Chain A
Amino acid sequence: MLYFSRWKVTAILLTIFVALVVLIPNYLSSDQIKSHWPSWLPGRQIVLGLDLQGGVYLLYQVDVTDYKQKRLKALEGDIRQAMRDEPRLGYTGLGIQGDVVQLKIRDADKFDEAGKRLHNLLNPLSTATLGGTAVSEFQLDQGSDGLMRLGFSSAGLDKRLGTVVQQSIEVIRRRVDQMGAVEPSIQRQGSDRILVEAPGEKDPARLKNIIGRTAQMTFHLVDLNVSPDEAAKGNLPPGEILLKQKEAGGIPMVVDETPLMGGEDLTDAQTSFQSQTNEPVVSFRLSTSGARKFAQVTTDNVGRLFAIVLDDEIISAPRINEPITQGSGQISGHFTVETANDLAVLLRAGALPAKLSVAEERTVGPGLGADSIAAGERAAMIGTVAVVIFMLAAYGLFGVFANVALLVNVILIMAIITILQATLTLPGIAGIVLTMGMAVDSNVLIYERIREEQRLGRSPISAIDTGFRRAFGTILDANITTLIAAIVLFQMGSGPVKGFAVTHVIGIVTTMFTAITFTRLVVATWVRYRRPSVVPL
């Protein structure tokens, strides 16, 4: 038991050496790593969690209800269109009822024809391939009395939501990237959530404002014949809606419900300054087809107002003085440079396919992060020193061995965190400190065992040998149970809890390693050189 082959000794010492090398970059600035640290050596630093460097954690929830309503509304329009195709089919009661669109066909002999036309609207999302079944977005429920209902198929809705989340992630990524956030992480969580983490972000409010905006931009013609007051009372001509103006104190305006153009016709948006007033504006450029459409509309409606609407709010409503044919334009809306920039970012990145709401938000200011690191470091330092002193007092020379093992343990933990690029959080630091308290346990188990064996009259070498062997099983059993609890914690945990679980799991593993190999090596070396007649325990 106390014999170590040469390669084993080499392996143990090499492990520790590698861990030390891995740790060095943590003490260098990123510039130093770039210029002085050899590129063939691992140059990664420990990743600090949001709570230690400040930053934003945002969990977004796709508003499924809102999305469904929008889709059903579009479906309703499609159905109306389909029934109007020649030969026209007579129907009544077309409308959205909860989660379905329903209508009733008048003539009994037209039921089949109507069913056929509605069937075309089911919108196949994937075709049947080998072994799979075709998935359609909607399903048709056809009553014998001519009542037709179209609603989401559950597989279709799932698939749709999947696409929506995926698209949203891409849009968010474009927005966040353009804002210049450092290493943001954007990922899908569950079926309908998106998690955005931006460490080191100093202006969480602005980030939140940018990410959460649907940013659906549309152009509508303004109807000045209906007074907003009348409209507010509900006297709206069919096909028109009342929208409020973004500008504080601006009166609402009545506009056509159907937009002339949408944001999808935009190809670019930039901040610029109006030549006369020097006010920041957002200039945009339209796609070729968009430009053609825009030219047509502006030619037909010279002299009228058209509203530029972002997420149901009128940003500005300029008058069309002359046809705009060159395919570009400007939006002015009393912007500051920053709000103009933000709008340009939103327009460039595109609109979110569905409304998102914040389901969970955690932001930590950089000041608190720095304080937390300081507090964590101080606690770790004091805790370690106290444990070291206790071990010295309780076990003397063997306490020194235990403390060296403890040091190796900490080096290994930090190195593994660096290699895995696991995120170090404040609870993570607590996990390390706790591990240090518990790590000496294996040494305590071994030492107490050696003491007992020695009292039973064994020779020092035999006592040490038996002590290690007997304690080994206990250490394994005891640590595996702890490990199970820690792994469960890791599995279920999110954010801070995960951070704690990571260091705790790593700590338990390294503790077992140091107890089984390193401590034994140290004690064995000591025995070989000293040949003690009594174990000083």
Chain B
Amino acid sequence: MRLLRLFPDDTKIPFMKWRKWSFLFSGIASVLCFVVLYTHGMNTGIDFQGGTLMEVQTKSGPADLEGIRNQLNGLGLGEVQVQSFGADDDVLIRIARQEGGDEAQTAVISKVQASLGDGVDYRRTEMVGPRVSGELAENGILGIISALALIMVYVWFRFEWQYSLGAVIATLHDVVLTIGFFAISQVEFNLSSIAAILTIVGYSLNDTVVVYDRIREMRRKYKRLNLVVLLDLAINQTLTRTTNTALTTLIALAALVIFGGEVIRSFTASMLFGVLIGTYSSIFIAAPVLIFLDPQLAGDKSTKKVEDDEGAVEPA
């Protein structure tokens, strides 16, 4: 049986040669993410804004979105969003946070239920008060920062500080682009999105660490090898692993996005995007960034001068 090989065994792809392009690309993409984030903002869900979300299912036939919208607008609850959610008879209703305290929020649910009556099934109701939503947002940001800090310490202990910094730069890059993904796609950003980001952080680091592991091993083996050549070698050697793992993970995630249901789609879709970015960054950002962090990392004082001349130093 012939086994499926995506790449030949000994690829010699000059990844480091492209680093200027990948940095340029990532730089522009990151800036773009910030710009879109600033101009359009994120479609933050009720977890962080407070407010009410209800999922209802009409009992007879497809839902009349326009009718429901008009009906609910008549209740005077401020901004009301009514949209279809997956199937024809599934409707998602979002109502902005009310003026006043917790009671005002709670009252929304009963008002909507009184208005829509028994013609619909109430599948899901979520209400988050103003105080809780602030705390949830705070905890989310705190969680991402502390995860990054802890991982930085771990990588620093296991490797060297350059790797630690490199891993964090690559991971931050992924976080920024994923946040940009939320801003551009306007997919709802909620608590599970924070979970998605942390998962992406974990995955991307996993990938980066595998590449770094190989770089460290090569460094011990070929003490005088030019860093650029060494990085290329390490990435090429781990390339099949990187792509195969990315593929199986993407396959699993794609199944979740397509078949996992509407409730977790924002979660799974963002993870799908994140795994792609994470794989890209461990090859095109995490490894080449080491060149900038410390040209002497390879222990070769002449590194700087010859770094772009391929083949200037032959592997030992």
Give the B-binding residues of A (Cβ under 8 A).
51, 59, 61, 204-205, 357-365, 367-368, 371-372, 375-376, 378-380, 382-384, 386-387, 390-391, 393-396, 426-427, 429-430, 433-434, 436-438, 440-441, 444-445, 448, 451-452, 455, 470, 473-474, 477-486, 488-489, 491-497, 500-501, 504, 537
Interface-facing stretch out of B73-81, B98-106, B224-232: B98-106
On whether the beta carbons of B267 and A427 are closer than 8 Å, the reply is yes
Residues of B within 8 A of A496 (CB): 191-192, 195
**A433-B203 contact, Cβ under 8 Å, with A357-B101, A360-B129, A365-B122:** no
Task: Check A474–B210 contact: CB distance below 8 A.
Answer: yes
Which residues on A sit within 8 Å (CB–CB) of B132?
59, 359-360
Q: Spot the interface stretch: B255-263, B290-298, B303-311.
A: B255-263
B252 and chain A: residue at smallest CB distance: A437
B127 within 8 A of A: yes
Residues of chain A contacted by B217 (CB below 8 angstroms): 470
* Inter-subunit contact A489/B195 (CB<8 Å): yes
In the complex, what distance in Å separates the CA atom of A347 from the CA atom of B201? Answer: 52
Q: A367-B57, A394-B3, A484-B150 are in contact. Are A383 and B252 (CB under 8 A)?
A: yes
**Residues of chain B having any CB pair with chain A under 8 Å:** 1, 3-5, 9, 55, 57, 101-103, 105-106, 109-110, 113, 121-129, 131-132, 136, 139-140, 142-143, 146-147, 150-151, 154-155, 158, 191-192, 194-195, 198-199, 201-203, 205-207, 209-210, 213-214, 217, 237-238, 240-241, 244-245, 247-256, 258-261, 263-264, 267-268, 271
Q: List the 10 shortest-distance A-B pairs measured between CB atoms, nearest first.
A: A437-B252, A383-B255, A375-B261, A485-B202, A492-B143, A437-B249, A357-B102, A368-B123, A379-B260, A488-B147
Please name the residue on chain A nearest to B138 by beta carbon: A492
CB distance from A407 to the nearest CB of B (A): 15
B residues less than 8 Å from A382 (CB atoms): 255, 258-259
A347 CB, min distance to chain B CBs, angstroms: 23
List chain A residues, Cβ under 8 A from B267: 427, 430
Which residue on chain A has the smallest CB distance to residue B109?
Answer: A361
Residues of A within 8 A of B106 (CB): 357-358, 361
10 further interface pairs, Cβ-Cβ under 8 Å (given A485-B199, A501-B195): A361-B109, A368-B124, A379-B259, A386-B254, A433-B252, A434-B249, A438-B203, A438-B245, A438-B249, A477-B210
Q: Out of A426, A441, A470, A501, which one reaches B245, CB within 8 Å?
A: A441
Contact A441 B248 (CB under 8 A): yes
Q: In the assembled complex, how far is the CB of residue A475 from the closest CB belonging to chain B, in whole angstroms?
A: 9
Query: How long is the Cα–Cα vector from A395 to B123 in the complex, in angstroms?
Result: 45
Q: Are A379 and B256 in contact (CB under 8 A)?
A: yes
Whether B128 lies near A376 (C-beta < 8 A) is: no
Closest chain-B Cβ to A487's Cβ sits at a distance in Å of: 9
Contacts of B252 in A (CB 8 A): 383-384, 386-387, 433-434, 436-438
* Closest Cβ–Cβ distance, residue B10 to chain A (whole Å): 8
Q: Is the CB of B158 within 8 A of A477?
A: yes
What are 13 A-B residue pairs whose CB atoms fall within 8 Å in the complex?
Answer: A357-B129, A358-B105, A365-B121, A383-B255, A394-B3, A395-B3, A434-B249, A436-B252, A437-B248, A474-B214, A478-B213, A485-B147, A501-B195
Question: Smallest CB-CB separation from B255: which chain A residue?
Answer: A383
A362 touches B125 (CB 8 A): yes
Provide the residues of chain A in CB contact with B192, threshold 8 Å.
427, 496-497, 500
Which residues of B sit under 8 angstroms from A384, Cβ to Cβ?
252
Given that A488-B147, A537-B3 are known contacts, is A481 also in contact with B206, CB under 8 Å in the complex?
A: yes
A390–B248 touching, CB < 8 Å: yes
Q: Which residue of B is nearest A482, CB measured?
A: B202
Q: Max chain A CB contacts within 10 Å: which of B105, B194, B206, B248?
A: B248
- For residue A212, which residue of chain B has the nearest CB? B106
Which of A391, A473, A481: most chain B CB closer than 10 A?
A: A481
Pick from A363, A368, A379, A485: contact of B198, CB under 8 Å: A485
Residues of B with C-beta under 8 A to A361: 106, 109, 125-128
**B123 surroundings in chain A (CB, below 8 A):** 364-365, 367-368
CB pair A488 B3 closer than 8 Å: no
Known: A433-B252, A478-B206, A484-B154. A489 touches B198 (CB 8 A): yes
Q: Enumerate chain A residues within 8 angstroms of B268, measured Cβ to Cβ.
A: 430
A359 touches B199 (CB 8 A): no
B101, A390: Cβ atoms under 8 Å? no
**A389 to chain B: closest CB distance in Å?**
9
Task: Report chain B residues within 8 Å CB of A390.
Answer: 4, 247-248, 251
A491 to B122, CA, bound (A): 32
A169 to chain B, nearest CB (A): 19
A519 to chain B, nearest CB (A): 15
- Residues of chain B within 8 A (CB-CB) of A434 are 199, 249, 252-253, 256, 271
**Are B147 and A489 neighbours in the complex by a CB distance under 8 Å?**
yes
Decide: A433 and B206 in contact? CB cutoff 8 A.
no
Residue of A nearest to B238 (CB): A448
Q: A481 to B209, Cβ gap below 8 A?
A: yes
Task: Verify B206–A482 contact, CB threshold 8 A.
Answer: yes
B249 lies within 8 A of A372 (CB)? no
Say yes or no: A492 contacts B139, CB within 8 Å.
yes
Contacts of A438 in B (CB 8 A): 203, 206, 245, 248-249, 252
* Residue from A205, A379, A470, A492 within 8 A of B140 (CB atoms): A492
CB distance from B214 to the nearest CB of A (A): 8
Q: Residue of B at shortest CB range from A358?
A: B106
B9 touches A455 (CB 8 A): yes
A427: B residues at CB distance < 8 A: 192, 195, 264, 267
Which residues of chain B are within 8 angstroms of A358 by Cβ–Cβ distance? 102, 105-106, 127, 129
Residues of chain A with a CB closer than 8 A to B207's CB: 478
CA distance A371 to B209 in the complex (A): 39
Q: Select which of B143, B240, B263, B264 is within 8 A of A489 by beta carbon.
A: B143
In the assembled complex, the Cα of A205 lies from the Cα of B254 at a distance in Å of 37
Residues of chain B with a CB closer than 8 A to A378's CB: 259-260
**B143 and A491 form a contact (CB under 8 A):** yes
How many Å lie between the Cα of A442 and that of B267 in the bound state?
Answer: 25
Please determine whether B237 and A452 come into contact, CB atoms closer than 8 angstroms.
yes
Q: Is the CB of B151 within 8 A of A448?
A: no
B-chain residues with CB within 8 Å of residue A371 when the two chains form the complex: 261
Give the distance in Å from the alpha carbon of A456 to the alpha carbon of B247 in the complex: 27
Q: How far is the CB of A379 from chain B (nearest CB, A)?
A: 4
- Which of B101, B143, B251 has the most chain A CB atoms closer than 10 A to its own CB? B251
Find out whether the CB atom of B206 lies under 8 angstroms from the CB atom of A379: no
In the complex, the answer to whether A426 meets B247 with C-beta atoms within 8 Å is: no
B residues in contact with A500, CB < 8 Å = 192, 195, 199
**Across the interface, which residues of B come within 8 angstroms of A473, CB to CB?**
213
Report whether B256 and A51 are in contact in the complex, using a CB–CB cutoff of 8 Å.
no
